[in-house]
A and B are shown apart, each in its own frame.
Chain A
């Protein structure tokens, strides 16, 4: 849900274009930016100026600052755009400073939602906005927890829930025969979690290395099986949904092909037939695909015809293409053979029939990718395990670590009620929700302790 009183920020430009735009919107936007700019006044009137941002002790970067006062911006709120021509490290620093000053990373569609809620868009456009947000539902649910799973770690939500339950039982059921609070043990368990989260944050923030890897994008119609294939190739377990349009963010991971590494990214389904908003997402996806070194073009072989696939095929750009017929498990052998023949003829290409479900031909596909990226090469240390991390997730991890560190201190101090508050805060950050966990906590307490007189 969107609260309009927060000040939010997000990158508004493709990540590796030479220029990066960071857009900040909300009641505190101008005040926050004034705090970042070290040599100029940012006044609440519409203007542009060149300024320097202090991002480290002796580190300043040049920047153009566009100020849109309340009532004169896209969202209707005070808004500032920082236009920067710097690398990812500096961008990360600027984001960190914004978060420190009280802004938070925007949710998908949040700028547009604000524009509507503040009367900057008309009624017809509202429909389109809601469609976008509806589609991003599963993206919102893709949280720092999923990231941790990608990194091969355990999911810390269960552990947090258990620690919290033990703590709460000690307070809400002090009269019961539940034994003393294992304080030292809880502090230790919190430390393990802090270590895990810090390690993920540390290894995932080295984003600059990613630029030197070859990039391979998955393209195809919505629901062509791209996300499933993405997960299978990365041995990851990202959320895959049968609703078209599940992937509306670009999701990246490092694919390791026997020492050869590349970035594999999953793009939103290419479907220009819907709303204005979808069209924008479509354009963004096309742009990203054009920058890829290679494309895995996915066609659902079980579809009755391939006309739409043909239409979008012309858009996917100049890079090398690997053709894949997905969902091979849905057809019997004869029908599959027939389907692949039709595809080969239509696209004048050779399709690899694959099934993410049965792993059919996945090894062949991996070798095909390996061949394509071999000339591009990469000299990255194969032992490094990295994942591209979004600003939202970085923010979540950082705030969870801070809260857990506070919780440890409170526990040492005997302030259990304050420790519980900090653990809740960490839980909310990691699960990206404000959902109350009390019922889960009580459930855990009742199954763990014999409560009741």
Chain B
């Protein structure tokens, strides 16, 4: 293999790209990660934070498979909090503020330590395809690099268009060029493109913010690490601060709507409902007199402040006036203005569940190009795309995680079966197996899989085995030890039991690490409910393994309603399970399909 020839090329070094490159290289593929700017590797373009509800679970899953995000967050976090701590364990999720510069450096160093991974600074302009199979990429400077597989993770860079008031200019992110030509190349090889929008708030010079006037939000007293490799976090934590908008600000925004690209028609694509700009919030919730704003430091040294809650694309003078009216930031200097960005994405109906494009063999897509948003969602797809690129090179079946196995599985399946009307993000309410997909048991769900595909190293594997052993020992103890005639385990399964208080001083239990105790107590608590969850989902489970042939012609299936025919043709589900989740496909349509498939391939499956 020549110096300009790789097994796998990863285009884009955001959170999807780095996980893909790391996974591919760790699995032994000769890998090249191409980025426009080496300094921008794993850059946090928006919020300087990792995790959150649902998202925290994904970070744990990436970690359990052997990925980087959890380790990097633990190493560079400046504030750690477990969200929903007072609620059920299934919806508890870790979240951390990070030092965004240290985070980027940490990832760069981790990647540089991998011998068969090359990092190249270049802008890819073209993907060369031969006979429906990827062959190479061509960069702006004419460099030609051969590759057997390509993972494309360009984030918002595909024909990115930045809006600040009536000012609009091409850019991939603030002060970074966009990839203009790559979109054309994708269209020319047969990929269909759409357009989405997202936005970011202004950043302030921290020395000009009167933080001491503001409400403080502290991290957890006993911070919990993201990575299963770490027992504890022992860094000094940095607080965040909270302020509130007021009617004066709202009036200012309303007075300037005629200069807001979201309202003038300058922005044509849809942004996320869960992440509206401040102008949208003021318009849609006119009766609210105040909106919360979190002021989050972007680095341990607290030089810049991220204003979480006032994402905007209003003109610079309006942004300045808004900051002047915001309590605590009256005299603050804006270092970077908020902006909105529109970018190209590829509607994910063009993908297989392994994240490979259906049109072009060897081309894998991950992150915002698939219509998602969020670092965690990107990382989750990135690691899967990297793994599957290598599995494909080796002629093996792709890794497809089930909806009952991982939030990553829920996300990718949602991408296959849902209409993308806004950038997609995970919510725990989207997971019908929510009780099983806990942050604390991601290792049990995925580390054996990571080991099998060669991504989990010996050190992680040993640690996992040890934790498993501890879980087993503690479980046995709780089942064997009786209080008031029944085992502690049975007590734990009962609602409103006071048993956790009564075993607080049990010396044997306290001899285990905190995470082991938490996992085992939760196992006991949920055991009975998992059975109920199982009953609710069982009828659909059997359909997950009923394949639909890729070449099926829905026009030829008699008795399908036309709406079902149209939707099935559009999404081309791989299994009856996927078909069942497409909006507009009824249970009766599925039976019609099931019977048609059986009639076409008699004797292929004994029982569905």
Please list the residues of chain A having a beta carbon within 8 angstroms of any beta carbon in chain B.
1-6, 107, 109, 113, 116-119, 123, 126-127, 129-131, 133-134, 136-137, 140-141, 168, 170-177, 409-410, 413-418, 420-421, 424-425, 428, 433-436, 438-439, 441-442, 446, 450-453
- Are B588's CB and A434's CB within 8 A? no
| CB of B395 within 8 Å of the partner chain | no
Q: Known A3-B543, A129-B595, A177-B292; judge A433-B532 contact (CB<8 A).
A: no
CA distance A171 to B275 in the complex (A): 17
- Are A141's CB and B88's CB within 8 A? no
- Are A415's CB and B495's CB within 8 A? yes
Query: Which of B274, B430, B590, B596 is A452 in contact with, Cβ under 8 Å?
Result: B274
- Are B435's CB and A421's CB within 8 A? yes
Chain A residue nearest to B91 (CB atoms) is A171
Q: Known A126-B595, A130-B559, A134-B588; judge A434-B91 contact (CB<8 A).
A: no
Q: How far is the CB of A174 from chain B (nearest CB, A)?
A: 5
Q: How far is the CB of A430 from chain B (nearest CB, A)?
A: 14
Q: Please classify how large the interface on chain B is, using the bins under 10, 10 to 19, 20 to 34, 35 or more.
A: 35 or more
Stretch in B98-106, B333-341, B483-491, B578-586 with 4+ CB within 8 Å of A: B578-586
20 further contact pairs, Cβ within 8 A, besides A417-B91, A417-B435, A421-B529: A116-B599, A118-B607, A123-B599, A123-B602, A126-B598, A133-B559, A133-B592, A134-B559, A137-B586, A140-B588, A172-B53, A173-B53, A418-B435, A421-B434, A433-B586, A435-B583, A436-B581, A439-B583, A451-B274, A453-B309
Chain A residue nearest to B290 (CB atoms) is A177
Q: How far is the CB of B343 from chain A (nearest CB, A)?
A: 19
Chain B residue nearest to A126 (CB atoms) is B599
- Are B558's CB and A130's CB within 8 A? yes
- Are A451's CB and B592's CB within 8 A? no
Q: Which residues of chain B come closer than 8 Å to A107, judged between CB atoms?
A: 587
Q: Which residues of chain A come closer than 8 Å to B95, judged between CB atoms?
A: 175
Query: Which of B284, B427, B580, B592 is A134 in contact with, Cβ under 8 Å?
Result: B592
| CB of B265 within 8 Å of the partner chain | no
Q: Known A1-B590, A439-B418; judge A171-B598 contact (CB<8 A).
A: no
Chain A residue nearest to B272 (CB atoms) is A452
Q: Which residues of chain A come closer than 8 Å to B90, judged between CB atoms?
A: 417
Stretch in B70-78, B122-130, B353-361, B534-542 with 4+ CB within 8 Å of A: B534-542
Query: Which of A5, A117, A168, A416 is B595 in contact with, Cβ under 8 Å?
Result: A117
Q: Which residues of chain A come closer than 8 Å to B587, judged between CB atoms?
A: 1, 107, 140, 433-434
| CB of B512 within 8 Å of the partner chain | no
| CB of B400 within 8 Å of the partner chain | no
20 contacts between A and B (CB under 8 A): A1-B539, A1-B591, A4-B608, A5-B538, A117-B595, A127-B558, A127-B599, A133-B595, A137-B589, A172-B91, A174-B83, A174-B91, A175-B53, A175-B83, A417-B434, A421-B529, A435-B583, A442-B273, A442-B429, A453-B311
- Are A172's CB and B603's CB within 8 A? no
B274-295 Cβ-contact flags toward A at 8 Å (1 or 0): 1110000100110010011010
Chain A residue nearest to B535 (CB atoms) is A425
- B residues 251-283 near A (Cβ < 8 Å) are 272-276, 281
Q: Which residues of chain A come closer than 8 Å to B543, judged between CB atoms?
A: 1, 3
Chain B residue nearest to A421 (CB atoms) is B533
Q: Which residues of chain A come closer than 8 Å to B558, judged between CB atoms?
A: 127, 130-131
Q: Which residues of chain B come closer than 8 Å to A129, judged between CB atoms?
A: 595
- Are A137's CB and B588's CB within 8 A? yes
CA distance A126 to B559 in the complex (A): 12
CA distance A131 to B591 in the complex (A): 11
- Are B596's CB and A1's CB within 8 A? no
Chain A residue nearest to B598 (CB atoms) is A117
Pairs of residues from A and B, 8 with the lowest C-beta to C-beta distance, nearest first = A1-B590, A134-B559, A417-B88, A137-B588, A450-B285, A168-B429, A126-B599, A3-B539
| CB of B496 within 8 Å of the partner chain | yes
Q: How far is the CB of B440 from chain A (nearest CB, A)?
A: 14
Q: Which residues of chain B come closer than 8 Å to A176, judged between CB atoms?
A: 292
- Are A438's CB and B430's CB within 8 A? yes
Q: Which residues of chain B come closer than 8 Å to A171, judged between CB atoms?
A: 53, 84, 87, 91, 428-429
Query: Which of A131, A140, A436 is B559 in contact with, Cβ under 8 Å?
Result: A131
CA distance A4 to B538 in the complex (A): 11
CA distance A236 to B2 in the complex (A): 77
Q: How far is the CB of A137 from chain B (nearest CB, A)?
A: 4
CA distance A441 to B84 in the complex (A): 19
Chain B residue nearest to A129 (CB atoms) is B595
- Are B87's CB and A416's CB within 8 A? yes
Q: How far is the CB of B313 from chain A (nearest CB, A)?
A: 15
CA distance A441 to B275 in the complex (A): 17
CA distance A257 to B559 in the complex (A): 40
| CB of B561 within 8 Å of the partner chain | yes
| CB of B52 within 8 Å of the partner chain | yes
- Are A421's CB and B532's CB within 8 A? yes
Q: Known A117-B594, A175-B53; judge A453-B580 contact (CB<8 A).
A: no
Query: Which of A6, A173, A413 is B496 in contact with, Cβ under 8 Å?
Result: A413
Q: How far is the CB of A252 from chain B (nearest CB, A)?
A: 23
| CB of B54 within 8 Å of the partner chain | yes
Query: Which of B87, B275, B589 is A174 in contact with, Cβ under 8 Å?
Result: B87
CA distance A134 to B565 in the complex (A): 13
Query: Which of B495, B539, B559 is A6 in contact with, Cβ under 8 Å?
Result: B539
- Are B429's CB and A113's CB within 8 A? no
CA distance A172 to B42 in the complex (A): 26
Q: Which residues of chain A come closer than 8 Å to B583, judged between CB atoms?
A: 435, 439
Chain B residue nearest to A434 (CB atoms) is B540
Chain A residue nearest to B244 (CB atoms) is A177
- B residues 44-85 near A (Cβ < 8 Å) are 47, 52-54, 83-84
Q: Which residues of chain A come closer than 8 Å to B581, judged between CB atoms?
A: 436
Q: Known A118-B607, A434-B539; judge A177-B495 contact (CB<8 A).
A: no
Query: Which of A123, A177, A425, A446 is B536 in contact with, Cβ under 8 Å?
Result: A425
Q: How far is the CB of B294 from chain A (nearest CB, A)?
A: 7
- Are B434's CB and A175's CB within 8 A? no
- Are A137's CB and B87's CB within 8 A? no
Query: Which of B273, B276, B291 is A177 in contact with, Cβ under 8 Å?
Result: B291
| CB of B324 within 8 Å of the partner chain | no
- Are A137's CB and B561's CB within 8 A? yes
Q: How far is the CB of A13 from chain B (nearest CB, A)?
A: 24
| CB of B34 within 8 Å of the partner chain | no
Q: Which residues of chain B come closer than 8 Å to A420, judged between CB atoms?
A: 429
CA distance A413 to B497 in the complex (A): 10
| CB of B205 within 8 Å of the partner chain | no
CA distance A123 to B285 in the complex (A): 59
Chain B residue nearest to A406 (CB atoms) is B532
CA distance A113 to B542 in the complex (A): 16
- Are A413's CB and B595's CB within 8 A? no
Interface-central residue, B47, B95, B588, B596, by most chain A CB under 10 Å: B588
